[in-house]
Amino acid sequence: MTIASRDFRELRLDRISRDFGHLHALRDVSLTVRRGEFVALLGPSGCGKSTALACIAGLMQLTDGAIWLDGQRVDQLGPEQRGFGMVFQNYALFPHLSVRKNVAFGLVSQRRPKDEIARRVTEALSVVRLDAQAEKLPGQLSGGQQQRVAIARAIVVEPPLVLMDEPLSNLDAKLRLEMRAEVRRIHSMLGCSTIYVTHDQEEALSLADRILVLIDGQTQQLGTPEDLYTRPASPAVAEFMGYRNLLRSLADRVDNGLAVTVGGAQVLGTPQGPVNGTVVVAIRPEDLVPTPGGPIAATVELAEYHGRDFYAVLRGAGGEDLFCRSQVRLRPGESVRLAVAPERVLVYPA
């Protein structure tokens, strides 16, 4: 196999910003992507992640800042001059062209020799396992197969960087899982660098080497999946990473640590930085465990069966809503006791 990514050392975003009138879609975002790295841009809808990808691709101009590919500044170049591969959410395939001709489009635009185009298209289709579908039209393929065509079209030009904008969001749950594995396999096989936009935390955690969390156009945290899952930098990041229980409390220093109030009961927590007085407590639903004799008393308001477990909304003794996942069946109206390990109770300055 000779399909590979063009050699480079790093892509660097240097305090990039993008404004739409008075709206600051991106503000001072900096990021360095090394060769071979898979970086996910993660955040809620409207946070600026697709805008950042469009600026990297050259589909939008920066308001401020610069983009560097090794020693060359590329933000002033057109998309075709940057040479990045792009995979869109809606595939963006030509419906009247065969799979083979869709994949060949970028090479034809570059006026490559016909024998080189044929060889590289065949290799790209082999990488995405679509050799047998080469002469079909996109409309004759499944959603997952169409997405593979889009990936083959992106990698066939041997780009230094592949940009993916929520490429799996239009697929059903089973296909998303299958394609997630395919995206990672292709990334590893080619040795390319990938910047991947998603609002799905599970997708980002499973695919990325590092994750950049954007909220309101600003960098909130950059780190490994483990960093973000276990040590979110702020309540806003914690909420987006699945810490559904976000509660205000007063923090008290006690002999064995830091005590906070959850559901009307005192539990021990783990401070995330200097804390004093009013704090925000973050707990994942799966870390609130129904336990006989647990310190937190609550009443089940709503319980949903999710296959492997039950997801429940409870009312704590202090009147607040608590969210919990349980292997044990929970029923509305039932009184339960909950416990939580101190290391899973993250305490932030308010």
H/E stretch holding 65 = strand 64-69
Query: How many other C-beta atoms lie within 10 A of the C-beta of residue 187?
Result: 23
Tell me which CATH homologous superfamily contains domain 10-235. Answer: P-loop containing nucleotide triphosphate hydrolases (3.40.50.300)
138's CB contacts (< 8 A; 6+ apart) are 91, 93, 94, 95, 97, 99, 102, 146, 149
On average, the pLDDT of the chain sits at: 91
- Token pair, residue 178, equals 């299958």
Architecture of domain 243-349: Beta Barrel (2.40)
Question: What would the pLDDT profile of 95-154 be if each residue is shown by its tens digit?
Answer: 999 999 999 998 998 889 999 999 999 999 999 999 999 999 999 998 889 999 999 999
pLDDT at 5: 55
Please state the domain extents for the chain: 10-235, 243-349
What average pLDDT does range 294-320 have in this prediction? 91
With residue 153 as reference, give the H or E element that holds it: helix 143-155
Site of tokens 């970086």: 39
Q: What phi and psi, each to the nearest 5 degrees, are found at residue 257?
A: 145, -145
Range 333-337 average pLDDT:
94
| 3-state secondary structure (DSSP) of residue 159 | coil
Residue 37: per-residue pLDDT: 96
- What is the rounded distance in angstroms from the CA atom of residue 102 to the CA atom of residue 108? 10
Give counts: helices (H), strands (E), the chain.
Answer: 9, 21
Please tell me the predicted confidence (pLDDT) of residue 1. 45
The pTM score is 0.89
- Based on the number of CB atoms within 10 Å of its own CB, is 24 exposed (0-12), middle (13-18) or buried (19 or more)? middle
Are the beta carbons of 51 and 60 closer than 8 angstroms?
Answer: yes
CB 31 within 8 A of CB 195: no
Give DSSP secondary structure letters for 85-100: EEE-TT----TTS-HH
